[in-house]
Amino acid sequence: MGALTGDQVLGLLREAGALLEGHFLLSSGLHSPRYIQCARLLQHPALAERACGALAEKVRALGAVDAVVGPALGGIIVAYELARALGVRGLFAEREQGRMTLRRGFRIAPGERVLIAEDVVTTGRSSLEVAAVVDACGGNVVGVACLVDRRAQDDLALPLVSLVKMAIETHPPETCPLCRRGLPLVKPGSRDVGESPSEMEAPRWPPCPGVPRTAGRPP
C-alpha cells in the first residue's frame, strides 16, 4: 500500500472526478470555484482502501486507536476503511432532530481511544460535534483524520491528520468574481453535484425536485 504524496492524492481525486470546477455555494455561505465530492472516489472500493490505508499510516502519529467514528454520511466510508486498516471498530454518528448522536446500538466504552474520521474537513464543525458525543460516553478523542483538509485556518481544537491539504479560494457573495461574470451558482446537493452532508446543515436548502432528502429520514 505505502504512503501517497499530496500530488498522488490529488491525482486520484481528479481521476475519480471528485474535483469539481464551477461556481459553488458552500455551507459557510461563501462561494467557491471548486468543490470536492469524495464520494466519487470512495465509490471505488480499491481507491477507498488505498486512500484510507495511506491515511491510516499517518494516523499512527496520534497513538493507539480503539475505534473510529465518522459523522454520517460523508464520514461513514472513511471511518469504515480506516477501521479496517487499523484493525479496530468503525462506527458512525448521525443527526437525530439536528443533534449528533450514536444510534443503532453503537457504544463507546469509557477510556476508549477514539479517532474521528471525515472525508473533507472545511470548518471542523462536524468533527467537534462527534467529539462531544465521544466525550459524553467517556471516550478519549485522539484526533481527526480526513482525506482532504480544506480549512482556511489551522484552528481546530483537536489534532488533525489529512492525506492532502488543499486551500480553496472562497469569496463572500458581495465580492464574488464568479457572480460578477454571471456564472450560475450551484448548490451542492443538486442532482449533478451530490452532497457532503458531513459538512452541511441538513435543512439549509430546499430539496431539489425528485431528489429525496436523506437527512432526518428514519433508519
Q: Which residue is nearest to Zn ion (CB)?
A: 176
Q: Does 176 bind Zn ion (CB under 5 A)?
A: yes
* Three-state SS sequence of the chain: CCCCCHHHHHHHHHHCCCEEEEEEECCCCCEEEEEECCHHHHCCHHHHHHHHHHHHHHHHHHCCCCEEEEECCCCHHHHHHHHHHHCCEEEEEEEECCEEECCCCCCCCCCCEEEEEEEEECCCHHHHHHHHHHHHHCCEEEEEEEEEECCCCCCCCCCEEEEEECCCCCECHHHCHHHHCCCCCECECECCCCCCHHHCCHHHCCCCCCCCCCCCCCC
Query: Which span (27-35, 51-59, 110-118, 187-195) binds Zn ion, by CB under 5 A?
Result: 27-35
| Residue 82 interacting with Zn ion (CB under 5 A) | no
Binding segment for Zn ion among 8-16, 69-77, 90-98, 170-178 (CB under 5 A)?
170-178
User: Does 168 sit near Zn ion (CB under 5 A)?
Assistant: no
**Residue selected from 100, 116, 141, 178 as contacting Zn ion according to rule CB under 5 A:** 178
25 binds Zn ion (CB under 5 A): no
Report the residue from 26, 31, 114, 141 that binds Zn ion according to the rule CB under 5 A.
31
Q: What are phi and psi of 177, to 5 degrees?
A: -70, -25
> Is residue 179 a contact residue for Zn ion (CB under 5 A)?
yes
Number of residues that bind Zn ion (CB under 5 A): 4
Stretch that binds Zn ion, among 43-51, 160-168, 169-177, 189-197 (CB under 5 A): 169-177
Does 148 participate in binding Zn ion (rule CB under 5 A)? no
26 binds Zn ion (CB under 5 A): no
Under the binding rule (CB under 5 A), the answer on residue 158 touching Zn ion is no
Binding residues for Zn ion (CB under 5 A): 31, 176, 178-179
